[in-house]
């Protein structure tokens, strides 16, 4: 039984969220709190396995509360908030502060949209109960590895990530030098958040980080983030690589899918590629990484101890497609060594 605490200033929202969660036999709501101060006392007393936390609350907002919680009483948190003009940045702030995942309330009247979020909310709370949560220490800006790399267009780096990946990508991409080959990234995240996410990464990295565009040719020192709801694949024209983006059914449960990107890279780039699989629930990317490995690419998986959720890397290791299993802080250095 997964014990859940709901923190929301709306009595209606608390009631509906409880109704949704307790419709699943695996979940039990052990407490309802109207604000952060009530929640603080309940957490100490009830010791919930997962907290569902609203963003906009009186006395203390959800992100501020989350920052304090992760510093003093680390607990898996799923943010449940309304979609607003600033929701993308607020969601990224929450993930930065240590939230495992997020669910967007579909309407101001939550009664009208409870069926829309039911499956997603239940699954994300269950996933969060398995997540690794550690005391959140403010992350220092990562210094890139200043290894001299020759500028080349025939090498390419591809990275797949899901739950916990927004923070993991900061560490990996922040550690790569400006002369790195082009990097293609699939991060499972709604399209409405990805533009803001790319902008944040661009501010943190010496690499140029941008949203991928259909037909765009790859440039050295550039990171391309896959669009939400569309698959991204690598193609080749003569000596140059370019990106193809298109609609398609979910693969391995996702669109964009890491498997789709990695499979295309195995065929187009072969031994000239480096594949990296980071923290995330499920198995997306495992088969694609195996195919890259079979094609001669170098492959890396994040280790269990540094993952928020050891799902995608675990499945990749089980399939036998991983050359190195490394702690998150060592991955960027390993990539650079593979390129020299």
Strand order in the sheet with 101-105: 27-33, 2-7, 50-53, 77-82, 101-105
Q: Which of 231, 220, 286, 238 is nearest to 254 (CA)?
A: 231
Measure the CA–CA gap between 54 and 14, rounded to whole angstroms: 10
Question: Does 188 qualify as catalytic in the annotation?
Answer: yes
The first and second tokens of residue 178, run together, are: 């400006």
Exactly one of 231, 284, 293, 316 is catalytic; name it: 284
Exactly one of 87, 129, 162, 180 is catalytic; name it: 162
Identify the DSSP state of 10.
Answer: -
What is the helix (H) or strand (E) element at residue 82, kind and residue range?
Answer: strand 77-82
Q: Which of 55, 125, 132, 38 is nearest to 93 (CA)?
A: 55
Identify the DSSP state of 215.
Answer: T
Exactly one of 188, 231, 254, 293 is catalytic; name it: 188
Q: Which of 188, 271, 264 is nearest to 225 (CA)?
A: 188
Strand order in the sheet with 183-187: 208-211, 222-225, 183-187, 156-161, 273-277, 298-302, 324-326
Question: Does 283 qualify as catalytic in the annotation?
Answer: no
Measure the CA–CA gap between 198 and 189, rounded to whole angstroms: 12
Question: Does 130 qualify as catalytic in the annotation?
Answer: no
Q: What are phi and psi of 35, to 5 degrees?
A: -155, 175
The answer to whether residues 248 and 231 touch, using CB atoms and an 8 Å cutoff, is: yes
DSSP state letters, 119-187: HHHHHHHHHHHT------PPPPPPPPP-------SS-EEEEEE-TTHHHHHHHHHHTS-TTPPPEEEEE
The answer to whether residues 331 and 299 touch, using CB atoms and an 8 Å cutoff, is: no
Catalytically annotated residues? 162, 188, 284
């Amino acid at each position: 039984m997964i014990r859940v605490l709901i923190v929301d200033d709306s009595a209606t929202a608390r009631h509906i969220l409880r109704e949704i969660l307790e419709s699943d036999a695996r979940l039990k709501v052990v407490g309802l709190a109207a604000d952060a101060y009530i929640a603080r006392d309940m957490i100490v007393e009830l010791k919930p396995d997962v907290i569902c936390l609203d963003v906009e609350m009186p006395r203390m907002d959800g992100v501020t509360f989350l920052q304090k919680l992760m510093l003093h009483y680390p607990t898996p948190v799923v943010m449940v908030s309304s979609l607003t003009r600033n929701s993308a940045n607020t969601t990224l702030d929450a993930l930065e502060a240590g939230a495992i995942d997020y669910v967007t309330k579909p309407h101001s009247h939550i009664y009208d949209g409870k069926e829309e979020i039911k499956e997603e909310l239940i699954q994300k709370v269950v996933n969060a109960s398995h997540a690794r949560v550690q005391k959140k220490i403010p992350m220092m800006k990562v210094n890139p590895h200043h290894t001299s790399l020759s500028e080349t267009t025939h090498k390419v780096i591809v990275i797949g990530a899901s739950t916990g990946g927004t923070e993991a990508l900061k560490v990996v991409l922040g550690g790569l030098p400006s002369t790195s080959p082009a990097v293609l990234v699939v991060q499972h995240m709604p399209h409405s958040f990805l533009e803001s996410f790319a902008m944040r990464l661009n501010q943190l990295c010496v690499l140029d980080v941008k949203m991928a565009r259909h037909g765009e040719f790859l440039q050295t020192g550039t990171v391309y983030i896959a669009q939400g709801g569309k698959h991204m694949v690598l193609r080749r024209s003569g000596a140059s690589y370019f990106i193809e983006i298109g609609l398609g059914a979910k693969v391995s449960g996702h669109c964009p899918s890491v498997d789709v990107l990695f499979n295309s890279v195995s065929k187009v780039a072969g031994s000239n590629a480096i594949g990296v699989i980071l923290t995330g629930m499920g198995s997306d990317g495992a088969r694609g990484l195996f195919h890259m490995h079979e094609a001669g690419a170098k492959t890396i998986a994040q280790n269990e101890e540094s993952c928020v959720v050891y799902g995608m890397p675990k499945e990749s290791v089980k399939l036998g497609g991983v050359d190195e299993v490394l702690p998150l802080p060592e991955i960027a250095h390993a990539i650079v060594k593979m390129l020299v």
